[in-house]
Amino acid sequence: MKLTSLFFLSALTLSAQVGINTTNPNPAAVLEVEAQQTIGFGGLQIPLVTPTQRDLINTSISSDGVLVYVDYTTNQCLEIYDGITDAWQQITCANNATDLLISEYVEADADNKFIELYNPTSNTIDLSNYKIIILRNGGTLPVNGTDREIFLTGTIAPNATFVIASSLQTLLPVIDVDFIVPAGLNPLDFGGNDPVLLTDSSNTIIDIIGIPGTDPGSGYAVDGTITENATIRRNTSISLPNATWTPLEWSAFPNNDVSGLGTR
């Protein structure tokens, strides 16, 4: 990012515009520095772009330090381009979160099933008001005899995760699991074609994976794969739960990948 010469004169009004990799920026994507005698320094206006527009920026190692404000579906994030890693890094995101969300889903081999919850709010949340519902083969509410209803206990601190696992899982040590679902009437045994719901005690859907009432066959499509024998993780740009299944909010990872559980 190149800055033209900026002078702050107490007796004059001065505006200078700077863009990304240019000294003659498009007015639609500029930084503006303004000084006025009556109000003083007016501040920096970072370009507001969509994720698609951000990815169209022609970046290289020399672009290190470029700043953009990215408008996602549910929030906005100030991001900086890191020329060393050739990636955009989030500095901070506007936090309008008010409730839990599902941040990871692991549908691995045998009984290795995991659901991770994330608390994006600034308050500790009591899980006794929540439950996980598994609808068989695209089933619908209310829960019937073949579906699963798992009542949660415990708390989640602000910006913390909560890992829910089957008692028969073998991929993680118990110390890494926050809530173990015992085998029996309500095991954690979803398959790729079973919608997984986070609800409150009255069955109001807070967040969801899959589509109730729709049997997708082997699984739901996410990031070029399906939810059978796969791990999917919520994109870190998403800080709000979504009661409508939205695959674009997720990224897919290989079968048996539990490396992201417990972190966000």
* Domains of the chain with CATH codes: 14-93 (no CATH), 101-253 (2.60.40.1260)
SS3 201: coil
| Max CA separation in the chain (angstroms) | 78
Q: What pTM does this model have?
A: 0.68
Contact 246, 240 (CB under 8 A): no
Strand ranges of the sheet holding 196-200, from the earlier edge strand across to the other edge: 148-151, 130-134, 196-200, 205-209
Contact 121, 97 (CB under 8 A): yes
What's the rounded mean pLDDT across residues 231-258? Answer: 94
What's the rounded mean pLDDT across residues 60-64? Answer: 88
What's the rounded mean pLDDT across residues 102-109? Answer: 96
Q: What is the pLDDT of residues 177-186, one digit of tens each?
A: 999 998 887 7
What's the rounded mean pLDDT across residues 236-262? Answer: 93
Rounded-to-integer distance, Cα 223 and Cα 195, Å: 17
What is the Rg, in whole angstroms, of the alpha carbon atoms belonging to the chain? 23
Preceding amide of 142 cis, omega within 30: yes
SS3 53: helix
